[in-house]
Amino acid sequence: MSKKNYITTPIYYVNDVPHIGNAYTTIIADCFSRYNKLMGVPSFFLTGTDEHATKIAAAAHSKGLDPKDFVDNLSASFRKVWQDLDIEYDDFIRTTEPRHKDVVQAIFKQLLDQGDIYKGTYKGWYCSPCETFFLESELVDGCCPNPECRRPVQLVEEENYYFRLSAYGDKLLAYIREHPDFLMPESRKNEVVGFIKQGLKDVSITRRNTGWGIPVPGDEGMVIYVWFDALINYISAAGYLSDADRFTSLWPADLQLMGKDIFVRFHSTFWPAMLMALNLELPKHLIGHGFWTINGEKISKSKGNAVSPAQMAQELSEKSGASPEVSRDVVRYYLARETTFGVDGDFSFDTFYGRYNSDLANDLGNLLNRTLGMLSSYNDGKLPAPCQGELRKEICDAQTAYVRGMEAFAPNQALDAVWTMINAGNKFIQDKAPWQLKKEGRKEELGSVMFSALETIRAAAIMISPFMPNTSKEILKQLGLSGRPLLWDDIICSDPFENAGEVKAQPIFPRIGGKGQAKDTKPEKQAPAAEEKKEEYISIEDFAKLDLRVGKILSAERIEGADKLYKLTVDMGSETRTICAGMAPFYEADYMVGKSIVVIANLQPRKIRGVVSHGMMLAGEDENGVKFLSPEAELAPGSKIR
Ligand code: ME8
């Protein structure tokens, strides 16, 4: 059996329903798995639930429930959430299943027989929420040292079985050195190396049997530690010791994803050491991504601030009028696009709605609506004849950058590439002024513009399919291409609309009117053709997001290799900033020094020709050229402009 690209998520504790944090890992894993399929690579995607933690038994007992009934219910609710987010997993493993328990017990026995597991007495501080033992020296103010937890710990002394982790430190370090892409991102890899270099202690891998967990074979007064049990899911589900063909087709895993909370100690140290003890290959890539906060705060059950993906989708659908399927896609899109994979992200409904309006209603929605609007106004809704599309270079560039992003495990970069292409499509329509071509009867050119825009929309629909599967299908349906297989290699082809069905325009992303808008927002109407496009308003809240300030230019110098750019040093009152400005063709450097200007102070810093520009100066243009904006009378540097 040929090897499949095998992707895993952590198996989640079933003590609560999933929030956007768990959803994030699973969505990104699903995007990678769907990307593989799009590229024609056989993929296998595993997720599941971790059900033997002591905290789960405690949660069940506190509700007066039998732990098995409790986990059955919650595991089902995880599946439901994944189904609702269109997660296409290939297997869902539960650690209470016999196929998993049998493998855990067999591995325990094998490692005991070969001396990697031994019996001894252990005394240590136990954090129950993290299911982890710590040394006294590791505690922070007497509490759990995990920055995501910091809860009280208990002193526990038990006779236990140990895994001989201490024997694997040097081997792990050598492996990490020889496989630079094994642990990602780089910053977290360095953390792992530092952790291993401190010296690894053997790990206690059993607990007293209180009726919940996998019994130690031959010593049933004890159960196996939940982490030793849980990590094995990645191979028990892959057929280890039960289905040799399946195992050969899956192991080693290609991509194991998890959050930074369980990256260093468990997945990058304990797990590879267990695999080394079993003489199995290590996974190709382990990625520890960042954590999401909500409005700047840690997601916490006690604070009650957790947001579920279903709630995000529902609120968006109510606010915008977008369909439930598209709204679910928007959750997936937002989580994949909003932050660089690996770093932390902060969720707020404002940024969620903002991204929806700007990227989806404005950019993608606009391209789709105006293109189909053009077709209906100028071509009776019929698809134009195929020709050499004028945006093929932009499409090919997007394909290259997209693949580069996905192969570097940077999904947001892949999406950036798609949006660069979408924006090029919108600009193309604006520049080509098809309404003018129609007026002047330039039929062939008009056909080419329509074909090029349609080809770009079709390319976008295929490229977004791993992230927004429903939206992708809906766009293709509107282009008359329902039911066609999505093929990457088919993005540029001689006749993309061969035998296409009827074109049916239906806006997919109705704009949300403004921040905090009432829930009775009506869906937008079919967008008019480009020349009739109505003026668009922004709300006062949108305007308030701009931090406009007065700055005073302290120096201006040319940037090497850039004809138009000045590097300005600008006094902003409380600080001095570097700002790049394309003013060289219009002003002498000396003239600019000492002038007061208007600066967008909260624009994301951007590297331009090797110089990081921290803000943007405003200028206007008419037929006489470009003039920068300046206050009518002296205003102190840093003054706010309203
Ligand atoms: O640790 N931001 O399960 P768990 C981003 N059962 N990701 C988050 C997040 C957040 N705020 N909160 C949770 C366990 N996650 C074990 C795993 S695997 C053999 C056993 C995601 O339910 C992230 O992937 O606590 C994190 O690693 C995982 O949920 C923890 O899930």
Kindly report the number of other CB atoms within 10 A of residue 602's CB atom. Answer: 11
Q: How far apart are CA 276 and CA 253, in angstroms?
A: 14
Query: What residue's CA is closest to ligand 1, atom 30?
Result: 12
Pocket of ligand 1 contains residue 229 by CB under 6 Å: no
The confidence score (pLDDT) of residue 624 equals 65
**469 and 348 share one domain:** yes
Query: What residue's CA is closest to ligand 1, atom 12?
Result: 21
Pocket of ligand 1 contains residue 22 by CB under 6 Å: yes
Ligand 1 atom closest to Cα of residue 299: 11
Cβ atoms 475, 325 nearer than 8 A = no
Q: How far apart are CA 204 and CA 455, in angstroms?
A: 59
Give residue 78's Cα distance to chain centre: 19
Last residue of a domain, one of 490, 524, 551: 490
Distance 12 CA to ligand 1 centre (A): 6
Domain-embedded: residue 13: yes
Q: How far apart are CA 366 and CA 427, in angstroms?
A: 11
Cβ atoms 1, 279 nearer than 8 A = no
**167 and 251 share one domain:** yes
**330 and 248 share one domain:** no
Mutation to probe ligand 1, out of 17, 46, 260, 262 (largest number of atoms < 8 A from CB):
262
**384 and 478 share one domain:** yes
> Which CA distances in Å does 582 have to 569, 587, 589, 620, 626?
14, 10, 12, 12, 10
Distance 59 CA to ligand 1 centre (A): 18
Pocket of ligand 1 contains residue 10 by CB under 6 Å: yes
Q: How far apart are CA 616 and CA 579, in angstroms?
A: 6
Domain-embedded: residue 509: no
Cβ atoms 417, 402 nearer than 8 A = yes
Domain-embedded: residue 394: yes
The confidence score (pLDDT) of residue 525 equals 37
**285 and 330 share one domain:** no
pTM of the model: 0.79
Give residue 110's Cα distance to chain centre: 39
Pocket of ligand 1 contains residue 435 by CB under 6 Å: no
Ligand 1 atom closest to Cα of residue 259: 27
Distance 294 CA to ligand 1 centre (A): 16
Q: Output Rg (C-alpha) for the chain, integer angstroms.
A: 29
Tokens at residue 294, please? 């909500």
Domain-embedded: residue 304: no
Pocket of ligand 1 contains residue 292 by CB under 6 Å: yes
Ligand 1 atom closest to Cα of residue 257: 24
Domain-embedded: residue 169: yes
SS3 599: strand
Domain-embedded: residue 202: yes
Domain of residue 375, CATH code:
1.10.730.10
Counted domains in the chain? 3
**268 and 395 share one domain:** no
Cβ atoms 362, 508 nearer than 8 A = no
Pocket of ligand 1 contains residue 11 by CB under 6 Å: yes
**286 and 322 share one domain:** no
Strand 91-94, strand 43-50: pairing: parallel
Tokens at residue 554, please? 């302290």
Last residue of a domain, one of 257, 290, 323: 290
**195 and 226 share one domain:** yes
Bridge partners of 163, per DSSP, are 117, 203
What average pLDDT values come out for the chain (642 residues) when binned by 10 residues? 94 88 96 98 98 89 92 94 95 98 98 96 86 89 91 89 98 98 96 97 92 96 96 98 98 98 97 98 98 92 85 96 97 96 94 96 95 93 94 98 97 97 97 94 96 98 98 97 91 92 93 53 38 56 86 91 88 90 87 93 86 92 80 89 88
Pocket of ligand 1 contains residue 309 by CB under 6 Å: no
**286 and 313 share one domain:** no
The confidence score (pLDDT) of residue 401 equals 98
Last residue of a domain, one of 290, 322, 351: 290
First vs last C-alpha separation in the chain = 66
**478 and 582 share one domain:** no
Mutation to probe ligand 1, out of 7, 235, 261 (largest number of atoms < 8 A from CB):
261
Bridge partners of 617, per DSSP, are 599
The confidence score (pLDDT) of residue 519 equals 36
Pocket of ligand 1 contains residue 25 by CB under 6 Å: yes
Strand 611-613, strand 548-558: pairing: unpaired
Q: What is the dihedral of CA 634, 636, 641, 642, to 10 degrees?
A: -90
Cβ atoms 129, 148 nearer than 8 A = no
Domain-embedded: residue 213: yes
The confidence score (pLDDT) of residue 521 equals 34
Q: How far apart are CA 44 and CA 254, in angstroms?
A: 10
Domain of residue 77, CATH code:
3.40.50.620
**377 and 450 share one domain:** yes
Distance 38 CA to ligand 1 centre (A): 27
Kindly report the number of other CB atoms within 10 A of residue 33's CB atom. Answer: 24
Pocket of ligand 1 contains residue 389 by CB under 6 Å: no
Pocket of ligand 1 contains residue 258 by CB under 6 Å: yes
Task: Work out the angle at residue 23's Cα, subtended by the Cα atoms of residues 264 and 214, and round it to the nearest 5 degrees.
Answer: 60
Pocket of ligand 1 contains residue 78 by CB under 6 Å: no
Distance 148 CA to ligand 1 centre (A): 11
Token pair 């024997």 is found at 167
Name 163's Cβ contacts closer than 8 Å, sequence gap at least 6. Answer: 111, 116, 117, 202, 203, 205, 228, 270, 273, 274, 277
Ligand 1 atom closest to Cα of residue 230: 19
**153 and 19 share one domain:** yes
Query: What residue's CA is closest to ligand 1, atom 9?
Result: 21
Q: How far apart are CA 492 and CA 137, in angstroms?
A: 61
Pocket of ligand 1 contains residue 48 by CB under 6 Å: no
Residue 475 dihedral angles phi and psi, to the nearest 5°: -65, -45
Mutation to probe ligand 1, out of 14, 15, 20, 24 (largest number of atoms < 8 A from CB):
24
Give residue 183's Cα distance to chain centre: 18
Ligand 1 atom closest to Cα of residue 231: 19
Domain-embedded: residue 116: yes
Domain of residue 559, CATH code:
2.40.50.140
Distance 50 CA to ligand 1 centre (A): 11
Q: Which domain holds residue 593?
A: 540-628
> Which CA distances in Å does 214 have to 54, 375, 514, 601?
12, 64, 54, 58
Pocket of ligand 1 contains residue 272 by CB under 6 Å: no
